[in-house]
Copies of this chain bind each other. A is one copy, B any other.
């Protein structure tokens, strides 16, 4: 049975049910626009750990445990965990997986990893390889800051195009059996490089990748943007969002009416995140904390989540390389 649709899209034959989701957020995130919608909140950025990296790992573990608990299940129900994060060697995911003790598959798609883990998790379930899988990601502002940029304590002034890495983690459980929202389709992205070089302006570097994947998704499925109640990109921020609308307009597709970026849904303007939020947890918090309950309640019927990732590294930047980017799209329908 052919479940590939068009050039880059998977059409699940028995769409896996999204039976649970959990969001763990930092204190700054709880003060933001979606405050009150997260399952667990850290009291501070360390939460009793002795490094930000270990705190991030704790959040991921908490998100996975909470997602499993919310559905009244146990970790042993999960056949495979698919997870990733921004830290070198996926430190956060691997140390969480060590505690959780379930079969584990590590993924890296930078900030697109929530979508990547869901699309591959749905492949495992739809293909009959698993009854139930968990897909999860995390990011931590302070840990990302010192790995990608400067020592966090230095408090270096950020340029206006910079985005603020979200401190948080999100996990979903995908199941063969269930009811409620289902993952119905996914479009796997290509690496797209617009030739931009500024690692403090990732939105414009990722927008062309998002446009490429969204355009292909619409071609492969024969859908119009208004098929979805909302199209959500992961973390393009203000500059990237404006650019994506423009890039789609140039292809003759108007998305302005039902398009939003998760990077603009997390923080209030007075929290001064500059161009918006970023990080694996940007799309994860909006999906798990905000959209999932709306899907379950029937207040959202169809969403397209487009995870967006800038694939550069500090090393590639130092070697004067441009910023390659990727976007993966996942359709969720109630």
- What is the interface of chain A, defined by CB distance below 8 A to chain B? 1-4, 7-8, 10, 13, 50-51, 53-54, 79-80, 84, 87-91, 94-95, 97-98, 101-110, 116, 120, 123-124, 126-131, 147, 188-193, 311-316, 319, 321, 324, 326
Contact B319 A104 (CB under 8 A): no
Q: How far is the CB of A327 from chain B (nearest CB, A)?
A: 11
Known: A3-B128, A128-B127. A90 touches B104 (CB 8 A): no
Contact A316 B193 (CB under 8 A): no
CB-defined A-B contacts under 8 Å, sample of 20: A3-B128, A4-B128, A51-B319, A53-B319, A84-B108, A89-B311, A89-B312, A89-B316, A90-B108, A91-B316, A94-B326, A95-B321, A97-B190, A98-B192, A103-B189, A103-B190, A104-B189, A105-B109, A120-B120, A123-B129
Partner of A127, one of B101, B129, B191, B311: B129
Which of B91, B107, B126 interacts with A315 by CB under 8 Å?
B91
- The smallest C-beta distance from A278 to any residue of chain B, in angstroms, reads 14
Q: CB-nearest residue of chain B relative to A187?
A: B103
Chain B residues contacting A147 (CB-CB under 8 Å) are 315
Which residue of B2, B13, B127 is within 8 Å of A126 (Cβ)? B127
Known: A89-B311, A90-B108. A97 touches B191 (CB 8 A): yes
Number of copies: 2
Contacts of A188 in B (CB 8 A): 80, 103-105
A321 contacts across to B, CB distance below 8 A: 95
B326 contacts A104, CB within 8 Å? yes
- In the assembled complex, the Cα of A109 lies from the Cα of B94 at a distance in Å of 9
A227, chain B: closest CB distance, angstroms: 21
Ranked nearest first, the 7 interchain pairs of A and B with the lowest CB-CB distance are A127-B127, A89-B313, A103-B188, A94-B311, A97-B191, A98-B191, A88-B88
Interfacial chain B residues near A51, Cβ < 8 Å: 319
Assembly CA distance A306 to B79 (angstroms):
20
Q: Is the Cβ of A130 less than 8 Å from the Cβ of B313?
A: no
Closest to A104 in B: B191
- Of the candidates B53, B88, B191, B314, the one whose C-beta lies within 8 Å of that of A94 is B191
**A106–B109 CB distance below 8 A:** yes
Q: Is the CB of A98 within 8 A of B324?
A: yes
Please measure, in the bound complex, the distance between the C-alpha atom of A110 and the C-alpha atom of B54, giving whole angstroms: 20
Q: Are A130 and B89 in contact (CB under 8 A)?
A: no
In the complex, A147 Cα to B147 Cα: how many Å? Answer: 13
CA distance A295 to B140 in the complex (A): 46
Please name all residues of chain B whose beta carbon is closer than 8 Å to the beta carbon of A189 when the two chains form the complex.
103-104
CB nearest neighbor in B for A319: B51
Closest chain B CB from A94 CB (angstroms): 4
